[in-house]
Amino acid sequence: MVVSTRPLCHSRFKRSVAAGCQPANRHAGSLSLRKHRLPTRSGSILLIVIVLLVVLVGIGAVAWFYFSRDQEATAENILLTPVFRGPYEHIVLEQGQVESSSNVEIRCEVKSRSGGGTEIISVVDEGTNVKKGDKLVELDKSALDQDLVQQQIVCNTSHALVVQAENTLQAAEISRIEYLEGTFRQEEQTILSEIFVAEENLRRAQLSFQSTERLAAKGIVTALQLEGDQFAVDKAKNELEVGQTKLEVLRKYTREKTVKQFDSDIATAKARWEAEKKSDQLEDQKLKEIEEQIEKCTIFAPEDGQVVYASDHNRWGGSEFVVEPGASVRERQVIIRLPDPAKMQVKAKINESRISSVRAGLPVAIEFDAVRDQTLRGEVTKVNQYAEPDSWRSGNIKEYAAFIKISDPPPGVRSGMNAEVRIYVEQLDDALQVPVTTLYETKGHYFCLVKDGNKWETREVRVGSSNDTFMTIEAGLKEGELVAMNPRSYPDKLTIPDLPDEEVPENGKAAGAKEPRPKGPPFAGPKEKPGGGADPTKIFSTLDQDSDGTLSADELKAAPADQRGLIATADADGDGTVSLEEFTKAAASLKPGGANRAGNGGAGQ
């Protein structure tokens, strides 16, 4: 009964409150409400206590998890990895762009005018396959046409001056001949006639004087007549001498002087004629050059090929020159390239951190974005010694261009294609190796933290090359041994001996540093090695570079890492060189897969 009446009273109280009425007994209503609120408050407190307990338990569990994990880590929970043998490849993977190593460059042969360029009127579309003789580019020639008209006028005037000078020369030459053959002879004959008359007059005067002289002796004529005849003789003599003098002057001086004058006129006329001819030749040559420039405004394909525009980009990634109608092109500037499809190459930009590993002669595998199911062979032909121009997007990262020749490029390979190049810096079919994170390097020495049963050993190793993931081991470790993945995290277990500071010799290379050596192509089969069924004679002949029948100290140093263990044991007499007999005996004594297999010698044994 009590249980059933409480909800009723509570309902009435609620209705009275909702209606805005006060209950008849205020204390009775308060008591009734208090009785209903007590159970609700106790339930909330219980819920809060339960939530707090759950939170405390969770925090304790998390703390216990991390604390126990740290204790386990300090209690031998060290990540280990085995030393293993297997194929090793050091590859530089980069992106590049296909281009032709033999491009026929179509240049602008039109000379620049007043420092400006020549405008492109029309150009064939990029990517068009053209034949020899097809029209490629047409340049603006309107200014050249005006120059041609003006130069033709200048040339016509020059031709007239040449003719005039030539006629003047010929007239001077004729005048000289005229004087020598005509005027001089005429004057000479006139003087000779005067001399002849003077001689005749002298002879007559002398005869008259002699006759008068005889008559005067007889007294027939007077002295005055004798004196007159004597005067006539003297006069005739004077006239004869004058004539003779005139003849001598004409022959000795007048003729020579007049000839010299004519020779001077001839020389002057000839020099002027030569000068006019030279000027005329220069004007003709200029006219010819203008005509050639007009012809060069229309450019034709010198051979078959595919059109590739020679647009230039600046260091900020923008375009400095875009081949299109209306663009201005400078003299000798490349407009179009016609690549040779049989001589294709890839230009790849190598990051400065990996450029030291790339060199000419390395084999390359090439894949194209457009032809993903086909891999082509290639070879590095050149590595630039200077960095590529920076751009605002590259920051301060330097890149060097490497050029890779494509062997037997298929017809589908075109200039401008994107390609992925895999440059094989080094390849080993069977190399002892560990992850690079297992090595601890200090002062040029490398150490590994090796687990030997329940003990830890800090062991120095001799390393080979690295591909940023794995490092080849030449000595110090054996296949199957367990090494710590990150020995730097456990300094309490590392025991590093006191080492002298690393000395750098004059050549700038640290002690133990090795020159990279070229390896076989990436598509070749497994390499033959001593102790693996290979012919020791062939290996010896490969190592014997000078073919003298003996491996010298330099040849021993240049031997591959996987064969140095064999070579170290082959020198039985200890003279520093290895003969074919010693090499063959050492190879025969090796056990395939055994502890003294080539490549595992040294400190690791």
Mean pLDDT of the 433-454 span: 89
- Using one digit for the tens of pLDDT, what is the confidence trace for 42-92? 667 877 878 888 888 778 776 665 555 544 444 457 888 999 999 888 888
276 vs 588, more confident: 276
Give the pLDDT confidence score for residue 532 in this predicted structure: 39
Domain limits, the chain: 2-71, 83-102+340-502+510-524, 143-296, 528-605
418-429 pLDDT tens trace: 899 989 888 888
Q: Give the per-residue SS3 of 227-280.
A: HHHHHHHHHHHHHHHHHHHHHHHHHHHHHHHHHHHHHHHHHHHHHHHHHHHHHH
CB 242 within 8 A of CB 198: yes
The per-type count for the chain, helices as H runs and strands as E runs, is: 10, 25
pTM as predicted: 0.46
Specify the long-range contacts of residues 587-594, CB closer than 8 Å, at least 24 apart. Answer: 587/530, 587/531, 587/536, 587/539, 588/536, 590/530, 590/531, 590/566, 591/531, 592/531, 592/532, 592/533
Q: Calculate the average pLDDT of the chain.
A: 78
Do 485 and 435 touch, CB atoms closer than 8 A?
yes
Within 10 Å of residue 599's Cβ, how many Cβ atoms? 26
Between residues 89 and 287, the one the model is more confident about? 287
* Phi, psi torsion values for 88, nearest 5 degrees: -130, 130
pLDDT at 167: 95
Q: Are 568 and 602 in contact (CB under 8 A)?
A: yes
Q: What is the pLDDT of residue 102?
A: 79
Please say if the pLDDT value at position 490 is more than 80: yes
CATH number attached to the domain at 143-296:
1.10.287
Rg (the chain; Cα; Å)? 58
Class of domain 83-102+340-502+510-524: mainly beta
Q: Which segment of 13-22, 121-130, 153-162, 175-184 scores lowest on mean pLDDT? A: 13-22
Return the CATH class of domain 528-605: mainly alpha
pLDDT exceeds cutoff 60 at 397:
yes
